[in-house]
Chain A
Amino acid sequence: MNLSFAIPLSAPDVNFRLLLPELILSVTGVVVMLVDAFTGRSQRRATATLSLAGLAATAWATLWLWPSAQGADTRAWGGMIVLDPMRLSFTLVFLIVAALTVLISAIWVEWEGLPAGEFHTLLLFATVGMMLMASGNDLVMIFLGLEILSIATYVMAGFRKNDLRSNESSLKYFILGSFSSAFLLYGIALVYGATAHEVSAQPQASGALAQHVILAGTTNISAIAERVNDGLYPPLLFAGAAMLMIGFGFKIASAPFHVWTPDVYEGAPTPVTAFMAAGPKAAGFAAFMRVFLLAFPFVAASGQMRSTGAQLHDAWLGALWILAVLTMTVGNVVALVQTNVKRMLAYSSIAHAGYALVGFVAAGAADSAHQTDAVAAVVFYLLAYAVMNLGAFAVVTLIARSGDRRTDIEDYRGIGFDSPALSLTLSLFLLSLLGVPLTAGFMGKVMVFSQALGEGYKWLVVIGVLNTAISVYYYLGLIVVMFFRERTTEWRAPRIPTTLAVVLVLTVAGVIYLGLFPGRVINAFRAVQPIAVSSLR
């Protein structure tokens, strides 16, 4: 058997400049880990400060790379990592999520006496994983990023290790997460096989025959896009794409693959739930969009419309349409009957994944010029969702107190006038989640829906708007419970600690800023074209 390397073994083209954000954050993670290991118990402040500094440096590197996304030099590690606006804007979303999570968790680790250093390390590594998912231009890199993220998140979900709910949440997340990773991996394997192509290999060392021709599959996204039409085994390509869709569907918690979400979100410690609903979901979208938009684009073979690429494109777009409708509807309808705030927000997060999928469908149907806009709309939606969701969970953390005891809707009864700061901010976040004008949620929905309308998806938008109407009931329901119901049990207004106050100020400002002046952000997100289909060579 002759195995050969398709590339000669000389020093690879690494291009460290483009890896700068990931490198900075990885090093920060290791440093935080060492600080945690080599100092005593009282290092909570130190690791939090270090993590925030690392995240800030990473954000700086990301912004520094922003102008070069337009340039010619956009590939690192031989095409495994790319630089494009999609990567940079998603990276920024992840960094914001991670920084806010550090701040939200500060009070929680103190209440429960948990090892803060470990939590910060895991959080930073999870963020590196998310960034790799957004920047990977190779299915290998996306898979690795996903696993770095998932493994760290499994531990974070079970971080309160003496609490059975946290354990169970972690276990369920772990089982279903690895289950879905296996599907994803099988999809990658099938795509690898289906894109087999003849390449001429370098002659082996001494005694080898002259240059011979070998077959080689590929996992590089740009290369897959080039080979969609002339792969050797088209049926495998369809099966692989279906498996990939199932895998990513689990990760972004879209119905019918959402069953793990409510349990995991309810049982996990509240700051971790906040992180999971905002970060990994956005990362799932980043990888999902990159793989399906860039690896399986609409490619008509010369003259014929029903080429393999075109069929595949039709198939996944149709499936995605159904996924979007199901996700929106299931999320909103089931949220109506929840009695626990965390479960309600979990179903709400499923519904929001559905709205973002509407934008994804539009991006899939768009030509490459409009695709940038549609992708930017989805990223904006996810950013808006992250900000308002983290804000809402910050309030939930504070009301739940140590041990996550008070998370039922009943616990919110009549607290409105006793703790106005908390209940007013929570109401703002709920209104934004609902999509009331002048808030971030409204702008996000407008952008996503207008992209879908632009591509002619009238019914999808109608269903989306009807779903928003359904969601009025449960979002406003919680506000009504807070302000217009009598308190039956004793209520002591919690003191708002500084870190949480910072989070609330930032998220309120973010919700209002994104709601009133979305222009700057959306322009930054779509300033440059994402890499064209055939930029491999």
Chain B
Amino acid sequence: MIPLSWYLALSAVLFTIGVVGVIIKRNVISMFMCIELMLNAVNLTFVAFSSYFGDVTGQLFVFIVMTVAAAEAAVGLGIVIAIFRNRESLDVDDASVLRL
């Protein structure tokens, strides 16, 4: 049996990769994929705990997270389409009408 800590370490690593990706990537779609990676790292944590405990609550949470992620993805795509129609580029450095 693989110990629980391995799963937790893996999901922590995945989460960190996602965080770093959101920070350094410049393309909206890539940033978006990194956010999905973060959410799925969290799902892994939930499933690992749930399986280790033998308790379904964590897995129920995963269902909810997946649905929410899909809704977010739909809205994100909508925003990306709106920007693309107005600007023809998906690089966030081009999205700079507003100062940072």
Contacts and interface: CB of A to CB of B under 8 A. Distances in A.
Interface of A: 1-6, 140, 143-144, 147, 151, 154-155, 158, 161-165, 167-172, 174-175, 178-179, 181-182, 185-186, 188-190, 192-193, 196, 199, 201, 214-219, 259, 263, 266-267
A193 B46 CA distance: 8
Contacts, number: 144
Contact of A155 (B19, B42, B51, B75): B75
Contacts of B13: none
Nearest to B44: A189
A1 B51 contact: yes
A158 B83 CA distance: 9
Nearest to A201: B54
Q: Main SS of chain A's interface residues?
A: helix
Contact of B46 (A175, A189, A263): A189
B86 A167 contact: yes
Nearest to A182: B38
B38 A168 contact: no
Contacts of A179: 19, 22, 35, 38
Contacts of B60: 140
B18 to A, nearest CB: 7
A178 B18 CA distance: 12
B2 interface: no
A395 B15 CA distance: 43
Contact of B98 (A2, A216, A266): A266
5 contacts: A1-B54, A167-B87, A168-B98, A196-B49, A196-B53
* List of 9 A-B pairs having minimum Cβ-Cβ separation, nearest first: A182-B38, A215-B53, A216-B55, A189-B45, A214-B54, A193-B49, A263-B98, A167-B83, A185-B42
Interface residues of B, number: 49
A3 B45 contact: no
Contact of B54 (A4, A165, A168, A192): A4
B28 interface: yes
A189 B62 CA distance: 10
Nearest to A265: B98
Contact of B56 (A3, A172, A193, A196): A3
Contacts of A178: 35, 72, 76
Q: Which of B32, B83, B95, B98 has the most CB of A within 10 A?
A: B98
Contacts of B76: 174, 178
Given A174-B72, A182-B35, 14 more contacts: A5-B56, A151-B71, A155-B78, A162-B86, A164-B86, A175-B28, A175-B32, A182-B18, A188-B61, A189-B49, A215-B52, A215-B53, A216-B55, A219-B57
B82 interface: yes
B15 to A, nearest CB: 6
B17 interface: no
Contacts of B72: 147, 151, 174, 178, 181
Q: Which of A161, A185, A188 has the most CB of B within 10 A?
A: A185
Given A174-B79, A185-B65, A216 B38 contact: no
Nearest to A239: B12
A151 B73 CA distance: 10
Nearest to A267: B98
